[in-house]
Amino acid sequence: MSEDAIPDNVNNFQLRYVGRRFEGTRLPVEVLSDLPAFRDLIVSFVKKGWYAGHADKARLPKGFDRSLTFDLVGLTNGSAVPNLNWNRDRAQSYLPGMVGQLDDLMSSSFHQVMNLVESAEDESAFPTLTTQQIRALNKLGSGLLDDERIEFLNTTGSKGTVVYLDNERRKRLITRIKGTYETRVEGIGVLVQAKIVPTSLIGNIVISIPKFGDVEVSREKNIVTEEFAPFLGSEVQYDLQIEVDHNDLVRNVVYVHDVGVIDPNQSPEYLRCRERIKQIGDLPAGWNDGDGLRISHIAIENAVRFVVKRPDNCGLFRVFPTEECGISFEFEAAGWDYTVEFLADGKIEMFGVELVGDSVLEPREYVELGDDFLKDFDKQIGE
């Protein structure tokens, strides 16, 4: 990236999150850890730059860290863009007379971070980073999904486009430096094993999950014994932070956000819905008299997650494929005829008409199967 690709003095940073989860100026709490990680990455280069210019110094000036405070000063409309500001006034109070020098270091450090991100495209690049820099880089973007990225606004990369970070770039870059990288995965897998050692307070469960195969997760022994061991072969809902190598082999489970067995003794109506979704997922292209594409895997996944989260409502649902590669749930409740559509791009639409009367629920769109949709669904059918 050329020197004129970013402003000379960088005090304000805009990270644009691109992906369906971020539409409508939404920033899921799962990615908020990116903001301190970005700050830590910038600051690590600032410190390195300061030492490079002060070879005779063994320590940073008193108050140096406190002078590098970043504030979240806004969230720009559209796809979520958190605006971060380096607090120069606070820097002046801690290091009087050094703000100009810090300005230069901040600009240079931001430029180095952007070059680092861009180097993911260069197969011959093997950057040398400090432990602090690697730790911060490993956290930045670890909550991104495969179709999401972070764009660093007001930058221009080597190909003339904005510099960005996505899962593929993270993987290339971090595995070259460290050999492994961290990422967050969530979904539904199968419980294939429960391991219990009599002399240990900790047990392990093994979950087979898409893309990564068998993953071993540690839990307290009594939880493994009571909540998992009796249900081998059952489905498990998981949300994990994992460490993965360049071959996508899981080396370690870093953090367990959530893991639990899906009740195997579900009602016949729940099982009917699951079987119906499977049948729809197996439909070939041209399933509708020559028309109709294969159903989107994202739509299938969201439909499964929906019935898992609302099994008691499965008796209401009539489930159909749509020609737009989605899945439609049609049902009657509380005097209304409703439709919930899981779209091919992962979005969800809900609309309805009153069975006796003229009221209409205009289509409501949701960017993900999250609390907003589920709360509206519960409220609507409970009316």
**Arithmetic mean of pLDDT over the chain:** 87
3-class state of residue 205 by DSSP: strand
Percent of the chain with pLDDT over 90: 36
According to DSSP H, which parts of the chain are helical?
34-53, 88-94, 99-118, 131-139, 167-177, 221-223, 268-281, 297-309, 371-382
User: What local confidence, expressed as pLDDT, does residue 280 receive?
Assistant: 93
- pLDDT tens digits for range 151-201: 999 898 878 889 999 999 998 889 888 888 888 888 889 999 999 888 888
B/e letters for 100-109, b = 16+ CB within 10 Å, e = fewer, are eebbebbbbb
Average the pLDDT over each of 114-123, 256-265, 273-282 and give the range with the smallest value: 256-265
Q: What pLDDT score does 78 carry?
A: 67
pLDDT (0 to 100) of residue 6: 47
pLDDT at 9: 47
- Phi and psi dihedrals of 40, rounded to 5? -65, -35
Amino acid at 127: P
Beta strands in the chain (DSSP E): 12-18, 70-76, 81-86, 149-152, 163-166, 180-195, 202-209, 213-220, 235-245, 250-261, 318-321, 327-333, 336-342, 348-354, 360-366
Q: Is the dihedral of CA 177, 178, 184, 188 positive or negative?
A: positive
> What pLDDT, on the 0 to 100 scale, is given for residue 10?
62
Phi-psi region of 290 (alpha: psi -120 to 50; beta: other; left: phi over 0): left
> In the 8-state DSSP scheme, what is residue 288?
B
Residues 59-79 pLDDT 10s: 888 888 888 889 888 888 767
Q: Which of 85-89, 116-120, 328-332 has the lowest mean pLDDT?
A: 85-89
Token pair recorded at residue 135: 């730790």
**What is the model's pLDDT at position 1?**
53
Q: What is the pLDDT averaged over residues 30-45? A: 91
pLDDT tens, residue by residue, 10-21: 678 999 999 877
pLDDT digits (tens, 9 = 90+) for 340-351: 999 988 899 999
Please calculate the CA angle 300-303-309 and round it to the nearest 5 degrees.
140
**Residue 233 predicted with pLDDT over 60:** yes
Residue 340 C-alpha from the chain's centroid: 24
Q: Phi, psi at residue 14, to the nearest 5°?
A: -125, 120
pTM: 0.64
CA distance 98 to 89: 11
Domain ranges of the chain: 3-178, 184-261, 268-382
Q: Is the pLDDT of residue 2 over 70?
A: no
Q: Is the dihedral of CA 89, 116, 82, 37 positive or negative?
A: negative
**What are the C-alpha distances in Å from 28 to residues 145, 215, 372?**
12, 25, 12
pLDDT band at 364 (very low <50, low <70, confident <90, very high): very high
- The answer to whether residues 336 and 317 touch, using CB atoms and an 8 Å cutoff, is no
What pLDDT shows up at residue 211?
85
- Tokens of residue 52, six digits: 């490079």
Mean pLDDT score, 130-140: 89
Residue 4 pLDDT class (50, 70, 90 cuts): very low
pLDDT digits (tens, 9 = 90+) for 253-267: 998 988 988 877 788
**Architecture, CATH, for domain 184-261:** Beta Barrel (2.40)
SS3 149: strand
C-beta of residue 209 within 8 angstroms of C-beta of residue 187: yes
